[in-house]
Structure 1
Amino acid sequence: MAAISLSKVEETAPALAGLYKSAGVSLRKHGLDGLRAAVYLVVDYSGSMRPYYKDGSVQALADRVLGLSAHLDDDGTVPVVFFSTDVDAETEIALAGHQGRIERIVAGLGHMGKTGYHLAMDAVIDHYLDSGATEPALVVFQTDGGPTSKLAAERYLCKAAKLPLFWQFIGFGDPGSKQFDFLRKLDELAVPGKRVVDNAGFFHAGEDPRKVPDAELYDRLVGEFPKWLVAARAQGIVRPA
């Protein structure tokens, strides 16, 4: 059973009802129906991301993540971290008032900098630990390029493997770009040589992420989560179902 009912979504955020239904299909397909989990969204605010804010791609991703979160978490909100050279903002998006929310947040932000993953990862880890949550968390981490410090990003991911956090990276931009080689490498880091469990996935959403069908996007957002849950439970990182 979903954390938030369809009728509640239709009442609070009617424009998201279709996304909510699509997310439900993917969750059932992957054996995640009835699961409770926190959902985070991390979005790249580096200079090269400007077109994706302008054309609504970031807002569209936020809406899709909200549609997914409503099945997994009953508070109707998703914590969001905007990052570039540093962490630009830590805020949240909610079912109520979701339309145009990204634009309103970005209007209050400053200069778009470079791409520093590890500080955003640190912000998510701190938020999760401070929240006192006991459920696992799915972190949707969007970027259009590799990090300024590959070493720091890898180190944070490996340290975070001991926590109940799964990092689902999603790339925007040219799928053939060398910028994404690091994320492909991060996805394949050795277990247990580098980390106790495989706690990350990566997929590419292309140059116009809005064109990825909802069903496909949800399948890819949650596709690796069940395997991680099994491994994390076996290691005592996530409590038994």
Structure 2
Amino acid sequence: MVDLTKRADTAQGAIISLLKREADKGIDLGEITARVVVAIDYSASMQGRYANGEVQDLVERVLALSLAGLDDDGDIQVHFFHNDPFPPQEVDSSSYSGFVDRWRSGKTMGGTNYAGVMKAILAEAGHGKKGLGKRLFGRGSAQPEGPVAVPTLVLFVTDGEPFDKDATKKLLVEASGKPVFWQFLGLGYSPQFLQDLDTMGGRVVDNVGLTSMQDSKATADETWFHAVLEEYVTSWVPAARQAGLIA
């Protein structure tokens, strides 16, 4: 069984290292917090990564990130998706062992759509169509809602492009005024579509990060945590504060 405490210490070290790097430039980022969420592709092409334990390892790393002090709840929300999103699952230190195999037992893999699970995550975070009386979609929906104390950090894990590219781009632009950052992790690929998401214009702030790994399970913990945290900590947090999205 993975040592969650050791991994949480490594995650905390990555956060401290990034903060120190910015402090050396004269930038004080203060306290970094987040509600940690992971969205995981359940399309057929991901079969091998589920079978070899890579997806379970991803969940454990994200949980360790939560336990590192980034998220004071000590648990994470896991959103699996294929053509459609599945109901979210809560994972903590008492339920993580064997979680992925238990969840996927009897479930059929499908295709790949991003927008549905993104809408579900935004709604659960309180930034969906009914959040604060404002519509996520429609005129002026990209405008900030006002600062929140704890933003949402979404690690979005996928190994392929979605069928709903236009809907995904539209949603991310419209959600750019929300206190939610989308860190994409491309497994085995980094296609033009994900690069396009990372460089889209028309947003309140750049709310998308991108990193890719051939095999995340084979990536050292320190390298992994730095890769998924760097843009959130050093770019999005200061930009979101300046835009009035987070306190």
Q: Same fold (TM over 0.5)?
A: yes
Q: Which runs of 5+ in 2 are unaligned?
A: 20-28, 133-147
Structure 2: distance between partners of 1:89 and 1:48: 21
Q: Given that residues 216 and 224 in structure 2 are in contact (C-alpha distance below 8 angstroms), is that contact kept between their aligned partners in structure 1?
A: no
1:36-90 C-alpha deviation (Å, 9 max, x unpaired): 2100000000011110100000000100001111121122210111000001231
Shift of 1:174: 4.2
Contact 2:44 2:110 in 1 (8 A): yes
- Residue aligning to 1:209: 216
Distance 1:151 1:219, change over 3 A: same
In the TM superposition, 1:141-160 aligns within 5 A as 141-160=156-175
Alpha-carbon contact 1:139-1:166 (below 8 Å) kept: yes
Q: Is 1:122 aligned to residue 119 of structure 2?
A: yes
Counting matched residue pairs gives 218
**Equivalence for 2:18:** 30
Give 2:92's aligned residue: 94
Match of 1:166 in 2: 181
CA contact (8 A) 1:41 1:141 kept: yes
SS for the counterpart of 1:88 is coil
Q: Partners of 1:111 and 1:60 in 2: how far apart?
A: 21
Q: Deviations over 1:138-190 (max 9, x none)?
A: 10000000111110110111111111000000011245xxxx21001101112
Alignment-derived partner of residue 83 in structure 1:
81
In structure 2, the residue matched to 1:228 is 236
TM (norm. structure 2) is: 0.83
Which residue is 1:61 aligned to? 58
CA-to-aligned-CA distance 1:81-109 (integer Å, 9 cap, x gap) = 1000001231111111211111111115x
Tell me, in whole angstroms, the C-alpha distance in 1 between the residues paired with 2:159 and 2:239. 29
The DSSP-based 3-state class of the residue aligned with 2:112 is coil
Q: CA deviation at 1:137?
A: 1.2
What is aligned with 2:225?
218
Detail structure 1 runs of 4+ shifted over 2 Å in the superposition: 32-36, 130-134
Is 1:184 the counterpart of 2:195? The answer is yes
8 Å contact from structure 2 (residues 160, 189) kept in 1: no
2: CA distance, partners of 1:14 / 1:204: 23
- For normalisation by structure 1, the TM-score amounts to 0.85
Residues 1:138 and 2:153 are matched in the alignment:
yes
Partner of 1:5: none
Structure 1: where are the runs of 5+ without partners? Answer: 1-12
Identity %: 35
Contact 1:34/1:72 (8 A) holds in 2: no
